[in-house]
Structure 1
Amino acid sequence: MTRKRATAIGFTAVLLWSFLALFTVGSAPVPPLQLNAICFGIGGTIGLIWTHFSGGLQQLRVISWKVYVFGTVGIFGYHALYFSALRLAPAAEAGLIAYLWPLLIVLFSGLLPGETLRRGHLAGGLLGFAGAALIILGGGADFSADNLPGFALAIACALTWSSYSVLSRKLGDVPTASVAVFCLASAVLSMALHLTLETTQWPQTQIGWLSVLALGLGPVGAAFYVWDIGVKQGDIQLLGTSSYAAPLLSTLVLILAGVADASWPLAAAALLITGGAVVAARANA
């Protein structure tokens, strides 16, 4: 597989993540950790079925347990930290801090063998972050010291996903099918936390059930498989910068669905995020 094709495949994860907010809204009133458990269960099961029919189950048996621990910590850890951060701090501010992960991917990737961090990569990442800030904060921010525990968890969240993505590059010989095990293990851990911390609730409408299924098939399912291909074989710096398209596309999807309203800050954010991606792409030319 060429580097360009792997990058394109990896970017489909960003497209899938852009539907995360819409499907999450549609899945109400299912609590977050229960939703996590269901969706990861769907994504992991489908991954195992695909692996079975492609003859890859034998590969899973010879993968080191350390790899499975690494993948589970990355996928489950990110979501657990994200949900916890949003419970202990305002969602907008905590979400913005958590969204440092694309910029951190760009920075950390410069430490990988065969990769070079250029000024264009850094400039593109900063432009993308500025665009994401416009969308997430909506023109206001309140970084109160009372919310420091939540902000700390949001930083840990960003470090977890960026580190997972960059270190995955070093596991290039590990088949993407291993992500199925990561997802199933994350489902088990999510359910354990759900039973401890939440009250079980199920979707009340057909739209709710379809939203849960769509989440498991896409943003909390297939997205992790294609992202794995992208970060292992594609242009990880360009993927990091272009990941800022996720909050932009997510907002556009919500507008088209009638859940959110269009605004001038959104247009400015679109220019910043698009400009950042262009700057980062030119850095590779």
Structure 2
Amino acid sequence: MPSHRSALLPFAAALAGVGFLSLMDAFMKEAALLIGAYTATVLRAFIGAALIAPVWLSRGPAMPTRAVWRLHAERGVVSAFMALTFFHSLTLLPLAEAIALSFIAPLIALYLARVLLGETISRAAIGASLLGFAGTLVIVGGRIGEGRFDEDAAWGIASLMVSALLYAYNFIVIRRQAQVAGPLEIATFHSGIGGLVLLTLAPVLWQPPEAAALWPLVVAGALTVAGSLSIAWAYARAEANVLVPTEYSGFVWAAGMGWLFFREPVTLPTLAGTALIVTGCWLATRPQRAAPVATA
């Protein structure tokens, strides 16, 4: 049936996009372990910009207005430190565990949307956020119970929470940005501005890149572009409530990549905590039923 196919293709594209980005995380973890999270994040940003900018420019685009420039700059700054803290956490935590904890970002975004956009927070959203918080405690508590909560784990979780907070704010910026710019323009300025912002810290944090890290970085840059464009294509052709569940497939990808690349086991507390967080996200994002209309 045509309608079934039209719904299936965007879902498949979104699922592939999440897979591309999850595989990118694995390559970025490999690069970050070799040359540090900072250098790896900067190089990935510029590689991504070098791959996507020619495509955008080949279409003969008009340059952004001053207002759009401000949005590009705002998101570039936010996403730069969001990526840096996330990739730093990957050097300290298992891949699946980091992805699981990052799922709390959409729940944080609910409260930011209330503060910044004046949106109403429903009872379901409050309950969802409590489930997400409980899931986080289960994952962290599992580490403590198994005696794996050391200084590295503490810094990794703290770094990931900062990244999740920035990612939640990133949702707010993207919502405004997508209304005034296309996916290719957004991807170009997102990578380029993010790299330039992080470059200001080079005198303090830069490490000379090893040759062994260049291949993972090039692959990570290409996967970033592929994932971003796949998801943008999907969201332009299907409603968000149809595609949101694909985001949670990232945990399955991360668990597989973590084991395949780094032989990282997935613990029961991580699985249980992930289930709570994902349930909270599902409750928060599912469409609300309209109130019944009384008949005369």
Q: Tell me, yes or no, if the aligned pair for 2:45 and 2:192 is still in contact at 8 Å.
A: yes
Provide the C-alpha distance between the structure 2 equivalents of 1:153 and 1:265, rounded to a whole number of angstroms.
20
Q: 1:164 aligns with which of 156, 167, 170?
A: 170
Provide the C-alpha distance between the structure 2 equivalents of 1:15 and 1:260, rounded to a whole number of angstroms.
18
Matched, 1:37 2:42: yes
User: AA paired with 2:40?
Assistant: L
Provide the C-alpha distance between the structure 1 equivalents of 2:283 and 2:168, rounded to a whole number of angstroms.
21
Structure number with bigger Rg: 2
Deviation of 1:148 (Å) = 10
User: AA paired with 2:166?
Assistant: T
Matched, 1:139 2:143: yes
User: AA paired with 1:105?
Assistant: A
Matched, 1:184 2:192: yes
Q: 2:258 aligns with which of 231, 250, 254?
A: 254
Provide the C-alpha distance between the structure 1 equivalents of 2:236 and 2:114, rounded to a whole number of angstroms.
14
User: AA paired with 2:175?
Assistant: R
Q: Secondary structure at the match of 1:199?
A: coil
Q: 1:194 aligns with which of 162, 187, 202?
A: 202
1:83-128 deviations in whole A, cap 9, x for unaligned? 678999xx99999887642211233345687966433344445435
Provide the C-alpha distance between the structure 1 equivalents of 2:130 and 2:87, rounded to a whole number of angstroms.
25
User: AA paired with 1:33?
Assistant: Y
1:198-250 deviations in whole A, cap 9, x for unaligned? 3213242xxx54422221122x4444556677899987789888756545541
Deviation of 1:53 (Å) = 3.2
Worse-matched range after superposition: 19-28 or 159-168? 19-28
Alignment of structure 1 residues 60-99 onto 2, 5 Å: 60=64, 64-82=68-86
Q: Tell me, yes or no, if the aligned pair for 2:128 and 2:281 is still in contact at 8 Å.
A: yes
Q: 1:174 aligns with which of 181, 190, 202?
A: 181
Q: 1:47 aligns with which of 45, 49, 52?
A: 52
1:156-190 deviations in whole A, cap 9, x for unaligned? 54332211211321231222213312211222333
Q: TM-score, normalised by structure 1?
A: 0.69
Provide the C-alpha distance between the structure 2 equivalents of 1:150 and 1:270, rounded to a whole number of angstroms.
17
Unaligned runs of 5+ in 1: none
User: AA paired with 2:190?
Assistant: F
Report the counterpart of residue 217 of structure 2 in structure 1: 212
Deviation of 1:40 (Å) = 0.9
Provide the C-alpha distance between the structure 2 equivalents of 1:253 and 1:150, rounded to a whole number of angstroms.
19
Unaligned runs of 5+ in 2: 1-5, 290-296
Relative to structure 1, the CA distance from residue 11 to residue 29 in structure 2 (aligned partners, 3 Å threshold; closer, same or farther) is same
Q: Tell me, yes or no, if the aligned pair for 2:37 and 2:88 is still in contact at 8 Å.
A: no
User: AA paired with 2:171?
Assistant: S
Provide the C-alpha distance between the structure 2 equivalents of 1:161 and 1:10, rounded to a whole number of angstroms.
19
Equivalent pairs counted in the alignment come to 277
Deviation of 1:36 (Å) = 1.1
Provide the C-alpha distance between the structure 2 equivalents of 1:278 and 1:148, rounded to a whole number of angstroms.
28
Worse-matched range after superposition: 234-243 or 17-26? 234-243
Q: Tell me, yes or no, if the aligned pair for 1:72 and 1:182 is still in contact at 8 Å.
A: yes
Deviation of 1:66 (Å) = 1.3
Provide the C-alpha distance between the structure 2 equivalents of 1:230 and 1:126, rounded to a whole number of angstroms.
30
Relative to structure 1, the CA distance from residue 241 to residue 123 in structure 2 (aligned partners, 3 Å threshold; closer, same or farther) is farther
Superposition RMSD in Å: 4.8
Provide the C-alpha distance between the structure 2 equivalents of 1:4 and 1:104, rounded to a whole number of angstroms.
30
Q: Secondary structure at the match of 2:180?
A: coil
Q: Tell me, yes or no, if the aligned pair for 1:85 and 1:150 is still in contact at 8 Å.
A: yes
User: AA paired with 1:168?
Assistant: I
